[in-house]
Amino acid sequence: MIFTLTMNPSLDRYLYIDELIPDDSIRVKDTQEYAAGKGIDVSRVIKEIGGTSIAICPLGGSNGERMEFMLDNERVLYAAVRVKHETRMNIIVQSRKNQYRLNLQGKPLTETEYEMIIDMLKTVLREKDVLVASGSLPLGLQSSVYGDIVKIAKSKNVKIYVDTDGENLKEAVKAGPFGIKPNIHELSRLVGKEVKFEEVEKSAEEVAKKYKISNVLVTLGGKGSVACIDGHLYRIKPINVKVKGGVGAGDSFLAGFVSKRDESIEDALKLASACGAAAVMNEGTTLSKRSDVEKIIKEVEIEKIR
């Protein structure tokens, strides 16, 4: 079974306008809401492409209830830890030319709420399961939490993938996760220096060796991706698609990869690339559509460097 963990989920509200004008009344043409958070996005994509996962996340208040309704509507399986405070909401204003993201801070988890999440992980995880732990942490939690989560997964012989940034990622890699999925900017912050495009392969390989990580997946936006898997380097060329958005492309990539990783590395990379490309073909957080993935997966080109 594939589990995803989103420690800091959000209800994303999109406001669609023509133009943002200072000191003027702006007419909102349309409003859409989505259950969001990187791990939740992974679970949504896995469901869309025909797989099964369970999304673990803390949810509270009316926003949390609305997110549960949305996940039910998408038939995404989830295990919610009910928490005292309202789940945060992000406001995204989308004009004809620009996008403005207002990310609100969530309330801290209580010690009991955090322990409930950890107890759930210890209870549900079984040998050979997969856990994808993604995103930021709620206020009050130390970055060492990610290292602790990696250790819990490894103690149960669970393959854990981590997709986070900054100190959270630095703490996670110290514990030796099975896989990580940084973009080039997150990779740069991990290694402590700017990684240029032509240096990605070397940096990915160095990180894999230093921290004994079997799968280092680096997404490069419109330039494709690079993967260091079991000591072998792969370059996945970009797919030429019409870009309408960029939210969730990395999460979609990871969803595709973990769905096929145990079957075939090349099939996993092809599906990952197709899912990532399909995500940018849609606005908002619609993420990847199965029909788009099936249409473009045949266009994926993978080069095994060594």
Write the secondary structure of 232-259 as one string of H (helix), E (strand) and C (coil).
EEEEECCCCCCCCCCCCHHHHHHHHHHH
- Find the domain containing 152 and state its range: 1-180
Residues 2 and 148 in one domain: yes
Per-residue pLDDT of 140-157, as tens digits, reads 999 999 999 999 999 999
DSSP-derived secondary structure letter, 22 = T
Read off the tokens for 53.
């996962």
pLDDT confidence band for 106 (50 / 70 / 90): confident
218: left (phi over 0), alpha (psi -120 to 50) or beta: beta
Report whether pLDDT(285) > 70: no
Read off the tokens for 137.
């942490």
**Are 186 and 163 contacting, i.e. CB atoms less than 8 angstroms apart?**
no
Read off the tokens for 89.
């909401």
Side by side, which strands form the sheet with 99-103?
A: 30-36, 10-16, 89-94, 99-103
Of 166, 83, 180, the residue nearest 133 (C-alpha): 180
Residues 20 and 169 in one domain: yes
Residues 33 and 162 in one domain: yes
Domain-terminating residue out of 156, 180, 204: 180
Q: What rounded mean pLDDT belongs to the chain?
A: 93
Domain-terminating residue out of 180, 212, 236: 180
Which of these ranges, 158-172, 189-203, 246-260, has the smallest mean pLDDT?
Answer: 246-260
Residues 150 and 201 in one domain: no
SS3 content of the chain, % helix, strand, coil (to 5): 40, 25, 35
Burial status of residue 191 (CB atoms within 10 A of its CB: 0-12, 13-18, 19 or more) = middle
Average pLDDT over residues 193-209: 94
Q: pLDDT above 90 covers what percent of the chain?
A: 76
pLDDT confidence band for 74 (50 / 70 / 90): very high
Tally the domains of the chain: 2
Average pLDDT over residues 2-10: 97
Per-residue pLDDT of 22-57, as tens digits, reads 888 889 999 889 999 999 999 999 999 999 999 999
Q: Measured between alpha carbons, how far is 137 from 169 in angstroms, rounded to an integer?
A: 11
Residues 102 and 215 in one domain: no
Report whether pLDDT(283) > 90: no
Q: Measured between alpha carbons, how far is 17 from 7 in angstroms, rounded to an integer?
A: 31
Residues 95 and 20 in one domain: yes
Report whether pLDDT(257) > 80: yes
Per-residue pLDDT of 220-250, as tens digits, reads 988 999 999 999 999 999 888 887 766 788 9
For residue 220, the domain's CATH number is 3.40.1190.20
